[in-house]
Amino acid sequence: MAKREIKCPDCAGWTEWQEQLYDRCKLCNALLEQHKIDKIAELKAQKDIEDEMEQARLAKQNPFLKKLGNYASTLFIGFILLITALIVLAAG
């Protein structure tokens, strides 16, 4: 793997970097990519919040409407299959 030098964001010294997320400074032992690690953690937290909000929205949804939607999609698929069967029978 290629080794490069990078300026440490903590001590401002130049240190060897192997282009890994958790590489540390040889001088002060600080993480060289701390800003990227923080950004990843922030995005994960935001995704967790969005998932939690989606679960809450689904929990609030009326069970009758949920079942009605399932029945409607089943009927629609059945209708499409019926039309397809009629076309196949007419052609064959």
State pLDDT tens for residues 20-70.
Answer: 888 899 989 888 898 999 999 999 999 999 999 999 888 887 788 778 888
What are the angstrom distances between the C-alpha of 28 and each of 22, 64, 74?
Answer: 14, 61, 63
What are the angstrom distances between the C-alpha of 39 and each of 9, 24, 35, 44, 51?
Answer: 15, 18, 6, 9, 18
* The model's pTM: 0.54
Token pair, residue 29, equals: 């032992």
Residue 36 confidence (pLDDT): 92
Residue 88 confidence (pLDDT): 95
How sure is the predictor about 76, in pLDDT bands with cuts at 50, 70 and 90? Answer: very high
